Amino acid sequence: MNFKMNTEQENMLHDINVVDFVTVEMAEYLDTHPMDREAIEYFNHYMRMKNQMTRDYANKYGPLSLSVADNSCKEWKWALQPMPWEGGC
């Protein structure tokens, strides 16, 4: 497969998805190995990366979820951006 990313927004989404995959897999591992300190550190590292990447994306293109919506804004931007089926994301 040849995936061609042609915009900064697509590249950012791709990177967020990769890091999100890592965090989901690590969470599943930690469900069965909750005392693995090295895995916990690894998980925390990638969660910090994911949170920063998601904030960076939200600052440029709007929030991907309500949890990263800017709480200090004076307007409800979540409903104003295009939905995925409208060409958003």
Q: Look at residue 63 in the predicted model and tell me its pLDDT.
A: 83
User: Is the torsion defined by CA of 63, 17, 13, 53 positive or negative?
Assistant: positive
Query: What does the alpha-carbon distance between residue 13 and residue 18 come to, in Å, rounded to a whole number?
Result: 9
pLDDT at 79: 58
For the chain, give every domain's residue range: 8-86
Q: Give the Cα separation of 14 and 27 in Å (integer).
A: 20
pLDDT (tens digit, 9 = 90+) per residue, 28-81?
999 999 999 999 999 999 999 999 999 999 888 888 876 654 555 555 555 566
Can you list the pairs that 2-9 forms with residues at least 24 positions away whose Cβ atoms lie under 8 Å? 8/60, 9/57, 9/60, 9/61
pLDDT at site 1: 45
Q: If we measure between CA atoms, which residue out of 9, 11, 42 comes closest to residue 25?
A: 42
